[in-house]
Structure formats: C-alpha cells, structure tokens
Chain A
Amino acid sequence: MLGLLCGMILIVPWVAASAEEPAATSTIERGRQIYSDQCAGCHGDQGQGNPDAFGEPLVGDWPQTKLTRVIAETMPEGEPEACEGEDAAAVAAYVFDAFYSPTAQMRNAPPRYALSRLTSEQYRQSAADLLAMFVGTAEETSERGVATELFSGKRIDRRKREQQRVDPAIDFDFGSGSPIDGQEDGQAFAMALQTSLVAPETGNYQLRLRTPNAAALWFNRDDQPLIDAKIKSGDRVEYESSVFLLAGRSYDLRIEFYRAEYGSKAVGNTGHPEASLQLLWRRPGRVAEVIPSRFLRPIRVPRQLIVDTPFPPDDSSVGYARGTSVSRAWDEATTDAALAVGMELVRDLDAYAKTKPDAEDRVQKLQALCERIAARALRRPLDEAQRQHYVGRHFEESESPAEAVRRSVLVILKSPYFLYPDLRALKHRADLDEAAAVDPSTDSYAVANRLALAMWDSLPDDALTQAAGEGRLREQAVIRKTAQRMVDEARTRAKVQQFLLHWLHVDEAGEMTKDGELYPEFSPQLVSDLRESLELFLEDVVWGEAADFRRLLTDHRIYLNGRLADFYGATVDAPDRFQPVPLEPQQSAGVLSHPALMAAFAYSRDTSPIHRGVFLARNVLGRTLRPPPEAFAPLSPELHADLSTRQRVALQTEPPACATCHELINPLGFAFEEFDAVGRYRREEKGRPVDTRGQYLTRSGQEVSFVGVRQLAEFLAGSREAHESFVGRLFEHVTKQPVGAYGPEQLGELTDRFAAADFNIRKLLVEIAVVYAHGPQ
C-alpha cells in the first residue's frame, strides 16, 4: 500500500486501425457457399450445432476480425489450410451476419417475456406485506442505535426511571459500577432497551445475548421472549436463538436487563459482582459480532410476518434468480407457507380484523379482512364471482369463522393470480378472457404491481394500490415519479445491495481460506471484515450523492477497521470502527482491487489471473465465455519455481484450443498481478518486479492496452461495453426478465439514459422500473 509509482502513465487506449465495416453482399454470399461446403456438416446449416460433431451453437461476441483469424488458423478442424485468407474472411462475414453476432442472435431468436412465478424471496416479501396491511409498516428514520432507559432499583418500574438516552449499540460493560449518575458501585439497577433491527439480507440470523446478569429479549412478538435469560444457571453467560429474517425489513427488538437477581427475596442481593450486556448476531456466512449501529433504529416497529417455510432454490442458471420453472417441492412449499400464513393470522385474528370475540359484526369483519387480503394478493379489486370464490364460500362452508379464514387464505395464496404475479401481462386469447379487455400497458393496477415487484420484490403498498385505484399510474412522468419515491427505502436498498454482491460474486458465502503458514492472520474474522468493508463501500457509492457507477470502479478509498488496517499495512484513527481510508490511486481501483475480490479470485498461496480475468470478462464487460473443453488443474508453482505466475499461466494456456479464449481472459487478469493471494499490494513476486501489462480486444474490434489496475479501471469506467453489461445485469436482477424482451433497442436506450444521467445508479433503477412497468412488447 505504500510508495508511489514513479511517473504517471497516461491512459491512452490504443485503437487498432481496423474498425469494423459491414461486409459487402457478395462477400457474404461467398462465405455462405464455403460455410455450406466446409462447415455446416459439424456446425449445422444455421450454426445450431450438430450433436454428433460439435454440439454447441455457433454464437458469441467476438469481433469479426477475431472470428476471421480463428477460422483461418484452426478451421476446418485438422485441415486449417483448407480455409484461409479471403475465404476465411468471407466465412466469418457470413457467420457473423447470419447467426453468430449478438445482433443476429437477437434477430433470430428474440428473447421473450417469460411467464414467471414468484421467486421464494418474492413469495416471502409478499406474504409479509399481506399482514403488514393490518398492522402497518415501520416508519423511516435516520436515527441509529438503541433507546435506553435506566431505572434505579431491582425492577423496571416507571416511577424509578432515572435516565433516557440513545446508545449506538447493545454493548455495555458497567463493571461493578452503575450507569446511573450518583448511584454507588454495586447498587441495583435495571435497563429497558428498545430498538429495531434492519436485516440486510434474507436468511437465518443467530442472535446471541451475552450477560452474567439477568435479561430477556423479545423479538418481533410481545407475547413470548425469544431469549429468556432471567434465570441464571451455572456459568452460562451466552444465550442464542436463530431467526429467519427478510432483507430490508425492520424487526422489533426489546431487552429487559436486571443488575439484581431475579426473583430474589434476600435484601441487598445485587447479583453478579459485574454488570455487562452485549447483543451479537451472526449474519448468514459471517462471524459473530456486536450488531453494528447502522442496522439499529431506536424506534418501535410493528410486527412482521415471518414465513420461514423452506423453498427449493430458484433457477439461477442464467445469472439471476427467476421463477420460470415449477416443481413438486415448490408446490408443496407454497402450500406449507400458505397454511403458515393462515395460522399466523388466526393466532391474532381479532387484532388483525380489529374486532372483538363477542362483537356482533365479527363474522362480517373477518370476511372483510379476507376480501382485503384477496384483493391485495391478487393485485386488483375482486369482482363478485371472485369474492365468492376466494372468500364468501368458505364462510358458508366452514364450521367456524377461524376455519373459514384459514381456508380462504389457503385458496388465495394458492391462486395462480397470486403465484404468477404478472399473469395478466401475457397475451390472452381474447375470446376467452374477460381480463383481455384491459390494456395491460395502461392498466394502473398492472403498473403498480410491476413497480412493487421491481423495487421491493413484493406487493403494492397502500399508496400504490390507492394510486392504481384512481387510475393515476398511466403517464410515464407519473410512473417515474412514483418509482422515485420507492427507491430510497430499506427494501430497495437491500435489493440493490444483493444485486451488487451477486454481480461481484461475493454473495455465495463460501469459505475463503488461505495458506496458514503464508498468511497466518487471514482468519474467518478478517474475511468477515472484508465483506463488511466491501458492503460499506458499495453503500457509500450507491446511496451517496452522485451514485456514480464509475466510482465503483475507480474510487481509491477503502473502508478499514483496525484489524484490516494492520493486515493491509495502513493506519486508521479509530481501530474499533470502519472508516474510509484513501490509498495511493495507482494501487487501488474501487471494487476491482478490493481485497475481498482479489482474495476470492485467487488460490490459497498464489494469485489466479485466470479467475480475475474471467470475472472481468463476464461480469464487468459482459462477455460470453464458454467453459473450458475439459477441467484443468493449474500447473504446480513448485514444479515451475523459476516462472512467475504470469509466465506459468501463459505457458499452460498456450495451446490453440485454450488460447482463443485465454487471449481475452489472461491479459485482463494480468493487470491485477500487483495484488497477491490475499489482496495485499506487492511490487515483486519471487524477487522480480511483477508485469501488469495487459490488453483487451473490444467487441467492435478495438485493441486497448493498459498497465496495472488504475489504467484498466479508467478504461472500464469509460467503456460502453461495461456500461451496457451493468445495465443489462441490473435490469435482469430487478425484473427477472431478459432485457431483450423489451425490444432489441432497449438495452442501448437505457444505457444512453444511464450515460446522460452521469451514470447515476439510482436513476438507472428508476428507468428500469419504468420500462418494466409498461410491460413487455
């Protein structure tokens, strides 16, 4: 991290002379002839592949120049001299134009809007919002931390409240003293803590209460404590419990703490000589830590419905979770979840329905409750037949109103109109469907529904439903304004954060271990810190003022705490918290050189330019790479002790079968060679200076060269390919549909708007939601 690179090299992407020009018709015709004679046997007459020879379809995103070269050098297989020079160029021109290029692919098989069910995340979020209708949702607040009340005496007695304050976290160590001014050591006191916990991601969290004193913790519900540590027994000071939380939602959390012994009759007995209280959590895939302030709000929030029914994983084969397939296990999960929602509702039925057990109009109120649930879940008002089908009938047929509610909820949540959220967007057979009379593109309910799916993965809230009911969501300007209102919300933030982590490949909480001899301090704790550092940086960029995508790639600051600073050779003012630390710009480039990524794309002792290059090519530049024809083990560094990592990789990928892809991959990865297997900056490897020169051939055939990560980052930040790739990925993550289904020009247009808005990610999100809200073409 130290030192200065002598002499800045200005980045001047070197542009090759051969910009692409459309091939003449005669050339294409000649190419077609040759293809038909020499290539079609293996590749199929339309490049669709031949299962007996070369099964893969002939599609990709190399520029035509490279295609020409590959054909000239390697094709036909075993007899490359049969097609060279102008012949190769003609074949390349034909192949490129007819089926190979992305444009041709789009023309031949335009991506279509795919009927989708709710993903498991969308199911859970929607179910939670159904009950939120009746209890309200958490208010937004900029305050962070815990509301603390201090009481003198043994109990929480409002008359003895001495102090009120907001603490940053639940991390108290009072020793033998007292937090109450004027109270002497060893005197009894009690504490009531109120906060709400915002879950950054969906999953299982472990809560861990640590105290030698008596305490109890209520979570999300007031009836039973989640952790009851009022009774002390033996040396036990830690109490754990697991909870399943949904991304972006706030959960009420309340703690009572007693310095004195619980249930004690003995006078003057103040319990354990020391008083302390900590609340830790273990996020999915992370180590336990005191819950940081940024996830705590010092307010009370309404209860959330938690559907923790296990769902089978959604199909993510195309890079984003989507609901385009169903299975028996999924159908059963939807049944179990629907039963669980009904059970939860029935548990506090009168409270939800705002009625009383002996009220005369109770049944009507319960029926009205079900009708509201049905209208919200099915995403538009019910007609009379639906009212009867989803609600009325069950009240006539069940033996008790509670039973009716459970049946009604079951039928509603198993309905295709709930499970397939945008069913009405599909082309209907007009002769059969009364709903076909509604034009989906101007139907306010459909628009409200899609906005809620895009931003929150959930159902419309009250405000959206009302706007839809008034038919206000028709004009683009209104839709855009509505989307803007939805952006700065905890759920949207969580969704964007999950996208970014997925994009950067760090969402799979795999174990990252390094050679213990070489990197003894690279502990699970440090890995967890790296995740935190990355997340803080992402939030800083996306939710900071400019929200500039380019900063993700080029910023030279990194969030460090004391442990990370020590490990990576920097200094911080306050070691116990994370803070942004500026690094030498030549040695740092946003997420690209972030040690969380550098260490992830590396082996346990050595770097991996191939992993780093593949990540850049696929995730940042959006290039299509085929998997290697067979699995390779990396060449052993021990057996090639005299070679640098770069030389070793070059040696292994030299054969032509490898080189076609690796001449794209390797030079991208080589630019990172100044970052070792744990992401520490280095100048030398094995006593020799590392070589960070690299180059890249764009899809349009431009040659770009760079030295080191800074020049690479500057190139990427200005690269149309990188911009389009980011826009496309975000679109798919947000909408769960391919962007091509919204027109062949859509990606380009969205990217133009992205550029015009100075690459503001939040504005891009709004534009994506607006496109999605109008429905597929």
Chain B
Amino acid sequence: MQPRSRREFVRSLGIGAAALPFLSNLPSLCFAGSGGRKQRLVVVFSPNGVVKKTFWPDQTGAKYELKESLKPLEPFRDQLLILNGVDDKVKGDGDNHMRGIGCLLTGTELFPGNIQGGSHTPAGWSSGLSIDQEIKNYLQARPETRTRFGSLEFGVAVPDKADTWTRMVYAGANQPIAPIDDPYQMFNKLYGRMHDQAMLSSVLDEVREDLEKVSRRLSAEDRRLLEEHATFVRQAEQDLQREQQQQTLHPMPPLDPDVEDRNDNMPTISKMQIDLMVNSFQNDFARVSTLQYTRSVGGAKMTWLGIDEGHHALSHEPNSDEAAQQKLTKINHWYAEQVAYLAERLRQTPEPGGQGSLLDNTTILWTNELGEGNSHTMNNIPFVLLGGGLNFAMNRSLNLKGVPHNRLLMALAHGFGHHIERFGSDNFCSGGALELS
C-alpha cells in the first residue's frame, strides 16, 4: 500500500473542493412520507473488558451515579440504560477472546476449527448469523424499511487480518463480514457513484460533440448509427442533471483527505467514521450499523492519552496494579467519549422527514467481548444502551443478575417489531426477550 497514492486516489473521488458543505437540516425528499418512523440500531464494540469498579454504577434504578469510565455519557443520562448482570454464556470451542467477539452478537457457538488461541481448544467461525444482520434482513425484506445498504459495518483500527478475533458480524454460519476501517473506502462505498456521476456529467457534452463531429463527416447511410448513439448520450446527460439536482439534498460529508491509517490517528479516524455513519443515516442508506474498535484482544496504544502500553497487555495486569487500572479506566473513558460524540452528532441532527433528532430514533449499544480483562470472564459483559430508537425505558441502571445475553439480543429485534422467540443457541433463550420498555 502506498499511502500517498492511496490518498490521492481518494482525493480523486472528489473529497477536496468538490465536497459540498455539510447541510444537516434539509429534509430528505426521497424518503419523506415513505412509511412510519425510522428506527435504527448502532452496535459499538471496544475490546478487553472493563475495570469493574470504575465502570459499573453502585446503584440501580433511576438514581445512579456515573463513574469515571462512563462519565462522558453524563449529558445523555435521560437516554441511557446501563445493563449489568448480562452474561455471555455460550461455551464450546475457542478461547474467551474468540468466543467473546464471535458469540457476542450471534449468541451461538463457534465451529471447531484451526485457530488456536492462547488457551482452550482451537475454533473457526461462528455457526450462526449476528443479531444486527438478523434485524437487517428483517428490515430489508419490507419495502417500507428497505434501504440502499441495509447495514453498514464500520471499523476503526481493525488489523488487516481475517480471523476469529477480528470478526463480530456474521451474515450466516461461516460468513463473517469484514468491517471497513478505512474511511476513504467507506466514503467510496457510500458516495463513489455520486462522484462518478459528477465527473461523468462534466465530460459527456464533449463526448456527444465528438460523436456529432465525426458523424457529420460520414455518408448519410453510416451517419444514422452515430446520430442514434449521440441521442443516448444526450439522454444520459439530461438524466444526470436531474439526478444531481436531487442529490444536493444529500450532501457528501467533507473528509480530510490526508489521514493515514496509523495507530496515532485512531481518534481522527474514529471521528471520520462517526461522521460518515451519521451522514449515511441522514441519507437513509442503512438502518443498522456496527462500529468495531480494533478487535478482541486489540492492542491499541493510546499515546494521545499518555499511555504507551498496548491495551491488551495492560488488561492482563492484576486488579492490584493500580497504575494499570487507572490506565484501563482512561481507555474506557476514551471509548465512552467516542460513544458520546456519536450520540451528540445524532442528537444535533434532526430526523429527515420525521420527528425529533436522529438520536430519538436510534439506539446505540456499546459492548465488549469480556466483562473484565485479567479474569477473561464473559459474565457481566458491558452493555450500555443510549438513545430512543427501540422504545426502551431509559435513564436507568439495572442489574439483571446473570441473564444470558441471548435474551438481550432478542430484545433488540423485538424493539424493531421483529418478534423472534429464540436467537442463537437454544440453551440460552428460555424466558424470551428481555422486557426493557
């Protein structure tokens, strides 16, 4: 990969001067009146567990105090739901980091395979699809909720490797979906076609003139074909002009064209990805999205926080290591800031063609592959929900005392009106979806 030419490639997609100002308050005409309320789900993943004492509130119910790790979410208190006591009970092959991410959204076992972790048996991919894809399939099957992409899988600093630790989203058994951690690639996926059309409309008139010039030189019999061709080019031109008039309602977001994919740029890339995600919601490209920071066992070095050790190595330090605990708290505080930035952007953005803000119609679920890094427990997996998308009763901290997380996954589907009775492994579905509304 040659960073400079890659960036130039991206620049050629029109992110520079060609990008239009960020217009966030224009209603989306294309989708206005196309059905009821738009509901959305965003799953945010960060790795290596949390520091329990700085993460979980001591109180349950509406009167709770946010501790250091969750402090950045204070402004969203009234739209916050903190779920303690939800366990990932899926067993089977693979070490806890592998199962932690691979079973997190799928609620089912990994296949036996040949990926050997630091302990336990080797494993392969998940044996089932993930809940975000289940919901996406549900929404895409209905014309009133169908969108261009259905779901968008964002990543930040995900290692360029395909293995069980790097994949959270599954389209089905043995079908992991890779998150796109390059904002330029995501931009191209979202807006490349629009940009191509802009370029096309700038040259089509020349193409047509070229054809007309040549056809004038030909005998009448031969001219017919070229004249016909020129009419088609003319039609294409007119169609493009019409489309572009409509497209000004769906601005492409501005994007810094020179950000390299490096550890130290993680904060910038995180912001870019969140901006792209919010913009894609404005354009109603998708109703379901995931945002995966690094991977399970991720070793990001958060130098911008003054932390030089890798995240995973730090997470192995015992609880007695106060310095490590502080650093881990800082790391999770930073992740909470990312969730807060996403929430803030959603809150600022009015729902196109609808009521309230995007946040009123979006539920963010922030989660992790482990409850705690050093013990590698999959009990008390952090599940922090934010926003009004799924009509859950918010402004609460709950301790559910060991319910299997499959029941939470089902509750997400129920929030969309998709009333599934089981999801993932049957062993963990009894009791059905958690009642959260």
Please give the distance in Å from A377's CB to the nearest CB on chain B. 13
The reply to whether the CB of A266 lies closer than 8 angstroms to some CB of chain B is yes
The reply to whether the CB of B248 lies closer than 8 angstroms to some CB of chain A is no
Bound together, the chains give a CA A498 to CA B17 distance in angstroms of 50
Q: Take A231-B124, A415-B207 as given contacts and tell me if A263 and B163 are in contact as well, using a CB distance cutoff of 8 Å.
A: yes
Check A410–B203 contact: CB distance below 8 A. Answer: yes
Across the interface, A214 reaches (CB within 8 A) one of B114, B125, B219, B225, namely: B114
Check A423–B232 contact: CB distance below 8 A. Answer: no
The interface residues of chain B, by DSSP majority, are classed as helix
The reply to whether the CB of B322 lies closer than 8 angstroms to some CB of chain A is no
Which residues of chain B are within 8 angstroms of A406 by Cβ–Cβ distance? 12, 199
Interfacial residues, chain B to chain A (CB-CB below 8 A): 2-5, 8-9, 11-12, 14, 16-18, 110-116, 118, 122-125, 127, 162-164, 173-174, 196, 199-200, 202-203, 206-207, 210-211, 214-219, 221-222, 225-226, 228-229, 232-233, 235-236
Check A262–B115 contact: CB distance below 8 A. Answer: yes
Check A429–B219 contact: CB distance below 8 A. Answer: yes
Across the interface, B217 reaches (CB within 8 A) one of A235, A261, A433, namely: A433
Check B5–A350 contact: CB distance below 8 A. Answer: yes
Across the interface, B162 reaches (CB within 8 A) one of A231, A423, A428, namely: A231
Bound together, the chains give a CA A266 to CA B119 distance in angstroms of 9
Please give the distance in Å from B187's CB to the nearest CB on chain A. 14
The reply to whether the CB of A347 lies closer than 8 angstroms to some CB of chain B is yes
**Cβ-closest 5 pairs across A and B:** A233-B124, A234-B111, A402-B12, A357-B4, A403-B12
Check A428–B203 contact: CB distance below 8 A. Answer: no
Q: Take A232-B113, A399-B11, A400-B11 as given contacts and tell me if A357 and B162 are in contact as well, using a CB distance cutoff of 8 Å.
A: no
Check B210–A416 contact: CB distance below 8 A. Answer: yes
Check B116–A231 contact: CB distance below 8 A. Answer: no
Please give the distance in Å from B273's CB to the nearest CB on chain A. 22
Check A231–B12 contact: CB distance below 8 A. Answer: no
Q: Take A357-B2, A420-B226 as given contacts and tell me if A261 and B122 are in contact as well, using a CB distance cutoff of 8 Å.
A: yes
Please give the distance in Å from A208's CB to the nearest CB on chain B. 15
Which residues of chain A are within 8 angstroms of B118 by Cβ–Cβ distance? 265
Chain A residue nearest to B16 (CB atoms) is A399
Interface set, chain A 198-233, CB cutoff 8 A to B: 214, 228, 231-233
- For this complex, 21 residue pairs linking A to B, each with C-beta atoms less than 8 Å apart, are A231-B113, A231-B125, A233-B112, A233-B113, A233-B123, A236-B124, A265-B116, A265-B118, A327-B232, A330-B232, A350-B2, A357-B3, A399-B18, A402-B9, A402-B12, A407-B203, A416-B214, A426-B218, A428-B218, A429-B219, A433-B217
Chain B residue nearest to A435 (CB atoms) is B217
Which residues of chain A are within 8 angstroms of B214 by Cβ–Cβ distance? 416-417, 423
Please give the distance in Å from A203's CB to the nearest CB on chain B. 26
User: Which of B114, B215, B235, B236 gathers most chain A CB within 10 Å?
Assistant: B114
Interfacial residues, chain A to chain B (CB-CB below 8 A): 112, 115, 117, 214, 228, 231-236, 261-266, 269, 271, 324-328, 330-332, 335, 339, 346-347, 349-350, 357-358, 389, 398-403, 405-407, 410-411, 414-417, 419-420, 423, 426-429, 432-433, 436
Check A428–B207 contact: CB distance below 8 A. Answer: no
Which residues of chain A are within 8 angstroms of B200 by Cβ–Cβ distance? 335, 339, 410
Which residues of chain A are within 8 angstroms of B2 by Cβ–Cβ distance? 350, 357
Bound together, the chains give a CA A426 to CA B8 distance in angstroms of 42
Bound together, the chains give a CA A339 to CA B12 distance in angstroms of 13
Bound together, the chains give a CA A128 to CA B93 distance in angstroms of 47
Please give the distance in Å from A549's CB to the nearest CB on chain B. 35
Please give the distance in Å from A303's CB to the nearest CB on chain B. 17
Check A263–B5 contact: CB distance below 8 A. Answer: no
Across the interface, A326 reaches (CB within 8 A) one of B14, B124, B232, namely: B232
Bound together, the chains give a CA A433 to CA B9 distance in angstroms of 39
Which residues of chain A are within 8 angstroms of B199 by Cβ–Cβ distance? 403, 406-407, 410
Check A426–B219 contact: CB distance below 8 A. Answer: yes
Check A263–B115 contact: CB distance below 8 A. Answer: yes
Q: Take A234-B124, A399-B17 as given contacts and tell me if A349 and B114 are in contact as well, using a CB distance cutoff of 8 Å.
A: no
